[in-house]
A and B are shown apart, each in its own frame.
Chain A
């Protein structure tokens, strides 16, 4: 009896305890609410649950709009300049890959692309573009400093800034610098540059210049073609045609031939200064990067990019005064405010 009585007592005590606990817990909850302890937690819960509904989706999405930079070779000055200029224009890229090292582990690069899952892959140079195109499926790619971009495969997610200045823009500057130059010769291969050449001929008419062209099929035809072309023109426009710019030896010979004929060469790359080019006009890298940054920000902001591959808007001009004096060219000194570098 005693035992059962104790048990009974125990059961009823437990029951009493449970009901007491319930009442106490209810009271605590009531007191906590009334003191504002739970109400602030509830408020925070509601705010964090509902807040995203009121924030524009663009703002929330921007966190996921990372940029990955792929550089063909950061040890090359113009490529490293492009990278630093871009970093000054956009928020810090999520990743930067330099393909300049001799051995490239494609699997590692692909893994990095997958991990970062960037909104845009920004490619500096042809090698970087080819790599991104190969490894990053369905990603937005923005390229710059890609030589002859038309020779590369592109798809609907490809954007970029062409590395080549428009023919019309170059011809305008030739006319501005050397008002007496009326006939300019171009050596090219129909296979690679026919369309480019036709545009140049049309654009030249707008600035009162006549283009005289000579198409060659092989690099060994350069010498004989120049013999026929040079007497008919005031200057030669050396373009990035792979048959004409075949190797160092053929380019050297071309410069020697023009020098002997007293004909100045206008061209597109600083590398030709030492060979004796008179005027070099190339796309201005900082301007190209500003244009690229604008495209990147357009993609990040889900804006429509009207022109997927844009022409460079700025020019960089190198004038070789030694050659101007040697050939006795009539230089428009007003144009000197447009020169970026003078070679003496």
Chain B
């Protein structure tokens, strides 16, 4: 009996001594047992990165989109300023959708063999595509005169050079390679940079040029179009091929954004005014 009594008190002593450690281990076991999804699954995210435009209003974008999405549940918006971080982050991700340029989507699919599908494509003034246009002061009559000159663009340097190459072909590789790309925050800055002499040429959307014509016809008159790109799809919403209920709900919320004034205002910050479902032809151009 005495031995038993002694043992009991010893056990109590040891228990008291190791109580915090035991509690910690139990908690750790519980956390390991509970599936990850119970925690991460609570908030689904729109992951955003776009090299086509130098969008740097991330804080405002996040605030505006978070506010809008919170009306529908635990959804959030996560913009990325760096391409590499975005690419590393999206691989294998299934807790959200991806808002990215169509050009970047095709590249990503090829590079990482991602099992992702384009679901929605942006719409602006009823169109899901746009064209890039290279303009210069009207004393520059062709691309040969732009050798070594400054081209202002709201896209990243990499993207701008790729589009310029597509527009001008292999035969002008040297000229395009010699161009100095001045990345500016917006298309209208690029056009003004040409107008006011900070750049020799600008690569912008056709629509931005139309805007300039409406705001400042005099400055528009000094510009000359040198070349146009093919039609490019506006940004897309992509999602994992195997989507759960919550992803389908998030896509439905995004699709409806353009129908309400508040949602439309948020979308304008991204340069689109609504979304539509990706059609088969568009899917083909995106590489399925």
The residues of A with any CB-CB pair to B shorter than 8 Å are 166, 168-169, 172-173, 175-176, 206-207, 284, 286-287, 290-291, 294, 307, 310-316, 333-334, 336-342, 344
> Closest 5 A-B residue pairs measured CB to CB?
A336-B268, A313-B198, A313-B193, A314-B184, A337-B271
Interchain CB contact (< 8 A) of A339 among B150, B196, B219, B269: B269
Q: How far is the CA of A339 from the CA of B270 in the complex (A)?
A: 10
Inter-subunit contact B196/A336 (CB<8 Å): no
Contacting A at CB under 8 A, from B155-209, are 180, 182-186, 188-189, 192-193, 195-199
Interchain CB contact (< 8 A) of B182 among A290, A333, A334, A338: A290
Interchain CB contact (< 8 A) of B218 among A206, A294, A313, A337: A206
The residues of A that contact B271 with a CB separation of less than 8 Å are 337
Give the most central of B198, B199, B271: most A CB within 10 Å. B198
A/B interface sample: 25 pairs, CB < 8 A? A168-B196, A169-B192, A172-B192, A206-B217, A206-B219, A207-B215, A207-B216, A284-B185, A286-B56, A287-B189, A307-B197, A311-B198, A314-B185, A315-B185, A315-B186, A316-B185, A336-B268, A336-B269, A337-B270, A337-B271, A338-B186, A339-B60, A340-B185, A342-B57, A342-B63
Distance in Å from the Cβ of A342 to the closest Cβ of chain B? Answer: 4
B109 at the interface (CB under 8 A from A): no
A337-B269, A342-B57 provided; 19 other pairs, C-beta below 8 A? A166-B196, A172-B188, A172-B215, A176-B188, A206-B219, A291-B198, A294-B180, A307-B197, A310-B198, A311-B196, A312-B198, A313-B152, A313-B182, A314-B184, A334-B211, A336-B268, A339-B60, A340-B57, A342-B64
Distance in Å from the Cβ of A137 to the closest Cβ of chain B? Answer: 30
The residues of B that contact A284 with a CB separation of less than 8 Å are 184-185, 189
Distance in Å from the Cβ of A309 to the closest Cβ of chain B? Answer: 12
Inter-subunit contact B268/A337 (CB<8 Å): yes
Q: How far is the CA of A294 from the CA of B53 in the complex (A)?
A: 21
The residues of A that contact B216 with a CB separation of less than 8 Å are 168, 172, 175, 206-207
Q: How far is the CA of A336 from the CA of B59 in the complex (A)?
A: 14
Distance in Å from the Cβ of A284 to the closest Cβ of chain B? Answer: 5
Interchain CB contact (< 8 A) of A176 among B57, B64, B215, B270: B215
Residue in A closest to B154 when the chains form the complex, CB atoms: A314
Distance in Å from the Cβ of B35 to the closest Cβ of chain A? Answer: 38
Give the most central of B57, B195, B199, B217: most A CB within 10 Å. B57
Inter-subunit contact B264/A333 (CB<8 Å): yes
B276 at the interface (CB under 8 A from A): no
The residues of B that contact A207 with a CB separation of less than 8 Å are 215-216
The residues of B that contact A307 with a CB separation of less than 8 Å are 197
B246 at the interface (CB under 8 A from A): no
Q: How far is the CA of A286 from the CA of B154 in the complex (A)?
A: 13
Distance in Å from the Cβ of B220 to the closest Cβ of chain A? Answer: 10
Chain B contributes a number of interface residues (CB within 8 A of A) equal to 36
B127 at the interface (CB under 8 A from A): no
Distance in Å from the Cβ of B206 to the closest Cβ of chain A? Answer: 15
Contacting A at CB under 8 A, from B262-280, are 264-265, 268-271
Contacting A at CB under 8 A, from B121-152, are 150, 152
The residues of A that contact B60 with a CB separation of less than 8 Å are 339-342
Distance in Å from the Cβ of B198 to the closest Cβ of chain A? Answer: 4
Q: How far is the CA of A284 from the CA of B56 in the complex (A)?
A: 11
Inter-subunit contact A290/B183 (CB<8 Å): yes
Contacts A168-B196, A169-B196 given; does A291 touch B211 at CB 8 Å: no
Distance in Å from the Cβ of B142 to the closest Cβ of chain A? Answer: 21
Inter-subunit contact B188/A338 (CB<8 Å): yes
The residues of A that contact B264 with a CB separation of less than 8 Å are 333
Residue in B closest to A306 when the chains form the complex, CB atoms: B197
Give the most central of B56, B188, B189: most A CB within 10 Å. B189
The residues of B that contact A333 with a CB separation of less than 8 Å are 264-265, 268
Inter-subunit contact B186/A337 (CB<8 Å): yes
Residue in B closest to A312 when the chains form the complex, CB atoms: B198
Q: How far is the CA of A169 from the CA of B180 in the complex (A)?
A: 22
Distance in Å from the Cβ of B120 to the closest Cβ of chain A? Answer: 18
Inter-subunit contact B211/A176 (CB<8 Å): yes
Interchain CB contact (< 8 A) of B268 among A169, A313, A334: A334
Inter-subunit contact B188/A173 (CB<8 Å): yes
Distance in Å from the Cβ of B63 to the closest Cβ of chain A? Answer: 7
Give the most central of A284, A287, A316, A338: most B CB within 10 Å. A338
Q: How far is the CA of A46 from the CA of B186 in the complex (A)?
A: 56
Contacts A284-B184, A336-B265, A337-B268 given; does A314 touch B196 at CB 8 Å: no
